[in-house]
């Protein structure tokens, strides 16, 4: 392979090498699945995810090397389209965000958190841009509901205390709470099975916890419907 002519060329070479490793990774995953090694495949997939994040980082910087003044904005738009995030309020007035399933702390690359934090920041900014008087909860409970694919064995579900949520809580609190101090904001974590893996984040008044628990078992497979939608699949509703 020839010596890189510039930064763009160098990044393209790095991307190619990373992509070649990923092809090998997916061949291993397919082989594991075909031989019935589901648990091993689930575990191996986290390492694959780390390499995907690395490739994502390389690809994320490629347009910037072109010198186009609109590169940053265009990258942000593409990311929002590729990583669906729904934000809004339920019929009960509860805040709800749906996002891709959060992964364990120890099996994630540092860049993954950094990029997801940036994506969430852009999504919240877009979602609340037109909200002149957004709802701000005081004494409240923030709920993390992790939905796993029904085909994934329960023993492959992740421990709640091993999932990185701090940066998500900080972002949600900034837009939905008067203060996320421990004496004002309680935390609740739970898991469920569904057809689409995702993490749901609710913010509800502290006194509504009993009502939320009663409704939890009746939540539709695709998720609770929004009464007021601020952002759907990374886009503002028409």
- Tell me the two tokens of residue 2: 């020839």
Specify the pLDDT at position 6: 84
List, for residues 111-158, the tens digit of each pLDDT value.
456 667 777 888 898 889 888 788 899 999 999 999 988 887 776 677
Q: Which residues are CB-contacts of 54 (< 8 A; sequence separation ≥ 6)?
A: 18, 109, 111
The 3-class SS string of 209-237 reads HHHHHHHHCCCCCCCCCCCEEEEECCECC
User: Out of 6-10, 104-108, 115-119, 166-170, which region has the weakest mean confidence (pLDDT)?
Assistant: 104-108
Q: Which two tokens stand for residue 120?
A: 């969430």
E-strand stretches of 14-102: 86-89, 95-99
The rounded mean pLDDT for the chain is 83
Q: What is the pLDDT of residue 79?
A: 64
> If you average pLDDT over residues 84-89, what whole number do you get?
91
pLDDT given at position 103: 65
Nearest to 139 by CA among 203, 91, 200, 228: 203
| Nearest CA among 74, 24, 70 for reference residue 51 | 24
């Amino acid at each position: 392979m020839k010596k890189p002519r510039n930064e763009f060329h160098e990044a393209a070479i790095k991307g190619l090498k990373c992509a070649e490793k990923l092809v090998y990774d997916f061949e291993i995953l397919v082989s594991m699945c075909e031989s019935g090694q589901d648990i091993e495949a689930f575990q191996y997939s986290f390492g694959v995810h780390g390499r995907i994040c690395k490739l994502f980082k390389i690809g994320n910087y490629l347009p910037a090397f072109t010198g186009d003044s609109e590169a940053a904005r265009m990258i942000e738009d593409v990311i929002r389209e590729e990583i669906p995030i729904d934000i809004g309020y339920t019929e009960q007035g509860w805040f709800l965000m749906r996002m891709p399933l959060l992964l364990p702390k120890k099996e994630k690359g540092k860049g993954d958190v950094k990029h997801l934090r940036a994506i969430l920041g852009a999504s919240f900014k877009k979602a609340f841009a037109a909200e002149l008087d957004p709802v701000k909860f005081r004494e409240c409970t923030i709920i993390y509901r992790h939905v796993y694919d029904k085909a994934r064995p329960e023993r492959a579900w992740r421990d709640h205390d091993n999932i990185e949520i701090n940066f998500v809580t900080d972002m949600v609190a900034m837009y939905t709470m008067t203060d996320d101090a421990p004496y004002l904001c309680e935390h609740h974590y739970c898991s469920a099975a569904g057809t689409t893996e995702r993490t749901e984040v609710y913010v509800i008044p502290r006194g509504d916890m009993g009502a939320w628990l009663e409704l939890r078992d009746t939540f539709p497979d695709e998720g609770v419907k929004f009464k007021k939608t601020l952002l759907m699949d990374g886009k503002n509703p028409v």
